[in-house]
């Protein structure tokens, strides 16, 4: 009986030892290979997207301008390209009467916000607006392949021309755009500067009230800069400066 117990104990220990060695080897293989996989994966992409934080700059700019406007004089707001944007609801809570328009359906229903699911260029508006907002939107208009936009030649310029017709006299246009080396990066966006037809039209047909420019520094931090510095920024799908503008309808 004692011998049988000893034999069983030895076999049990041997089995446990073998199982333990196999588990250890398996864990080491998984760790080693997964470590190499993730190392290769993360080395293949930037750890920080150079554009991270651009919306923080743009949203803050828009809200700053809205807070400084006379709420008795400026009441009706149109937010173009409002899909999944927090701006539309924030504008409502600032006390404005706000419509939001986008090709894509709104992901929420918010009391007091009128969402319009349509192409801005096709939409008929019954009343003019005191304020029109284009926050990181106009650079996509007419570029097929993103945000459901159809292919429209000069869709951005046509949008600006239509805004001119639906703004009240002295109405405000708040515009934020990618800024730098002028380029169309299909199907993602356009990048503008003051030599672009879009801004030439804006400066010729509206009165400029304010402009600000931001760029990424060597540590991928957005900093305020001069227009000349922003204009020199190389334009790629993951890199550009920012231009933020306030125009009045003259």
Do residues 16 and 114 both lie within one domain?
no
Residue 45 — pLDDT band, cuts 50, 70, 90? very low
Regarding whether 117 and 18 lie in a shared domain, the answer is no
* Confidence bin at 92 (pLDDT 50/70/90): very high
Tell whether 39 and 107 lie within a shared domain. Answer: no
Rounded Cα distance, 216 and 219, in Å: 7
Same domain, yes or no: 4 and 96: no
Report how far apart, in Å, the C-alpha atoms of 143 and of each of 116, 118, 199 are: 21, 16, 18
67 and 21 inside one domain:
no
Same domain, 8 and 78: no
Per-residue confidence band for 13, with pLDDT thresholds at 50, 70 and 90: very low
Domain that holds residue 2: 1-45
Q: Enter the tokens of residue 94.
A: 């600032």
> What is the pTM assigned to this prediction?
0.79
Residues 150 and 205 placed together within one structural domain of the fold: yes
Cα–Cα dist 209/228, whole Å: 19
Q: Using CB atoms within 10 Å of the CB of residue 103, give its burial: 0 to 12 exposed, 13 to 18 middle, 19+ buried.
A: middle
Instruction: Indicate if 9 and 131 belong to the same structural domain.
Output: no
Does pLDDT of 11 surpass 80? no
Report the C-alpha gap between 194 and 232 in whole angstroms. 12
Q: Give yes or no for residue 87 having a pLDDT over 50.
A: yes
Q: Please report the DSSP string for 169-191 in residue order.
A: EEEEEEEEEEESS-EEETTTEEE
Contact 151, 142 (CB under 8 A): yes
The answer to whether residues 113 and 11 belong to one domain is no
When divided into structural domains, the chain yields a total of 2
SS3 239: strand
103 Cβ partners below 8 Å, 6+ apart? Answer: 83, 117, 118, 119, 147, 148, 149
Q: Give the residue-averaged pLDDT of 96-117.
A: 95
Rounded CA separation 178/214 (Å)? 10
Location of structure tokens 């089995």? 15
Q: Is 11 exposed, middle or buried (0-12, 13-18, 19+ CB in 10 A)?
A: exposed
Q: Are residues 153 and 217 in the same domain?
A: yes
Domain of residue 66, CATH code: 3.40.50.150
pLDDT over 50 at 107, yes or no: yes
- Which residues, 6+ apart, have CB-to-CB distance to 223 below 8 Å? 214, 215, 216, 217
Q: Are 11 and 103 in the same domain?
A: no
User: How does pLDDT run across 161-172, given as a tens digit for each residue?
Assistant: 999 999 999 999
Q: Is the bond into 187 cis (omega within 30 degrees of 0)?
A: yes
H-helix or E-strand containing 215? strand 206-216
> Are residues 31 and 67 part of one domain?
no
């Amino acid at each position: 009986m004692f011998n049988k117990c000893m034999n069983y104990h030895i076999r049990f220990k041997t089995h446990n030892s073998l199982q333990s060695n196999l588990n250890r080897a398996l864990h080491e293989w998984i760790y080693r290979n997964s470590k190499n996989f993730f190392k290769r994966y993360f080395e293949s992409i930037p750890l920080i997207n150079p554009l991270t934080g651009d919306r923080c700059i743009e949203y803050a700019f828009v809200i700053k301008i809205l807070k400084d406007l006379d709420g008795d004089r400026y009441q009706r707001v149109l937010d173009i390209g409002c899909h999944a944007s927090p701006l539309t609801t924030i504008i409502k809570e600032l006390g404005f009467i706000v419509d939001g328009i986008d090709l894509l359906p709104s992901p929420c229903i918010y009391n007091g916000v009128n969402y319009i699911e349509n192409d801005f260029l096709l939409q008929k508006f019954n009343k003019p607006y005191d304020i029109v907002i284009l926050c990181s939107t106009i650079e996509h208009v007419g570029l097929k392949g993103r945000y459901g936009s159809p292919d429209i030649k000069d869709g951005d310029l046509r949008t600006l021309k239509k805004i001119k017709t639906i703004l009240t006299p002295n109405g405000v246009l708040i515009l934020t755009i990618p800024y730098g080396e002028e380029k169309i990066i299909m199907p993602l966006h356009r990048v503008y500067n003051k030599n672009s037809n879009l801004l030439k039209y804006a400066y010729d047909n509206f009165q400029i009230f304010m402009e600000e420019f931001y760029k990424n520094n060597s540590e991928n931090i957005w900093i305020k800069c001069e227009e000349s510095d922003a204009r020199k920024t190389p334009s790629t799908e993951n890199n550009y400066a920012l231009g933020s503008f306030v125009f009045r309808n003259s």
